[in-house]
Amino acid sequence: MAEPTAVRAAGNRLVEGLRAYRLIAAMWIRSTMAYRASFVMTTAGSFFANALDFVAIVLMFSRVDALGGYALPEIAFLYGLSATSFGLADLAIGSMDRLGRRVRDGTLDTLLVRPAPVLAQVAADRFALRRLGRVTQGALVLGWALARLNVDWTPLKLLLMPVMVVSGCVIFCAVFVAGAAFQFVAQDASEVQNAFTYGGTTLLQYPPTVFAKELVRGVTFVLPLAFVNWLPALYVLGRPYPLDLPRWTAFTPPLVAVVCCALAGAVWRVGLRSYRSTGN
């Protein structure tokens, strides 16, 4: 009976990782709260930094009625979904892009000798509660969009809403982990992953009809960001998907999220194994 043992071992490791993550994140929250005024200001800063993106979209709509055939509430819906799920992923493990610096200055070694999974430690490193600003901003835009949209709500569409946000968050988390694994090799090229994380969420804020077919194909089949919001959101909005994919693909985000996690986990292990300390 080898399999149940393996499953139990993996389960134990997950529990252990989550525990380590919780402890480290709680420590960073306590340290943040030591400077409360600074926390309030940086959270507001995170809120407004993201709000500006939406202000730019609103300014565009002061000059046009539709972009790529979509009205403002529809784009706000896409924006809100993308910003909320990305904001949650960024809040949870957005500090992973610091890994490159740790590889460079050798402080990653400290994490390796601690009796806790390295991934959990890197993910909770400098946990930044101020990123709640981004989540709040995304959720507010989403709320506004829901109030303004004319959607024929069905139980299925309602169910899809939370599924979409959670799966989207998990898919973005997988991108963060894969990006961090890349930094074992590339060290000070952490900016590359911004193209996929921050760039990805910006892309998803606009309807797929805006972009070239090849680009839409790329973020559907290669880096499956389309499953974060485009596919399920277009189902909710009653719009066809530009690549003529069947309607049921709107319900595949959880599956895609699981596959992404498995792949990102594998890449992470390869990256960690390839790590050579700078040796100080």
Partner 1 sequence: MGAGRLYAAVAAGGFRRYATYRAATAAGVFTNTAFGLILVYTYLALWDVRPHLGGYDQAQAVTYVWLGQAFLAALAIGGGGVEDELMERIRTGDIAVDLYRPADLQLWWLSADAGRAMFQLLGRGVLPFLFGALFFPVYLPSDPLTWAAFLGAVPLALLVGFGIRFLVAMSAFWLLDGAGVAQMAVLAGYFCSGMLLPLNVFPGALGEVVRALPWSSLLQAPADILLGHADPLGTYVFQGAWAVALLALGRLVQSAATRRVVVQGG
Binding site for partner 1 (CB under 8 A): 38, 41-42, 45, 48-49, 52-53, 55-56, 59-60, 62-68, 186-192, 194-196, 199, 202-203, 206, 209-212, 215
Q: How far is the CB of 55 from partner 1 (least distance, A)?
A: 7
Residue number, 105 or 191, with CB nearest to partner 1: 191
Q: How far is the CB of 34 from partner 1 (least distance, A)?
A: 13
Q: How far is the CB of 174 from partner 1 (least distance, A)?
A: 18
Residue number, 20 or 178, with CB nearest to partner 1: 178
Residue number, 97 or 125, with CB nearest to partner 1: 97
Residue number, 59 or 147, with CB nearest to partner 1: 59
Tokens representing residue 251 in the block = 């319900």
Q: How far is the CB of 39 from partner 1 (least distance, A)?
A: 11
Tell me the C-alpha distance between 250 and 236, whole Å.
9
Residue number, 48 or 221, with CB nearest to partner 1: 48
User: Smallest Cα–Cα separation from 250: which of 234, 269, 266?
Assistant: 234
Q: How far is the CB of 224 from partner 1 (least distance, A)?
A: 17
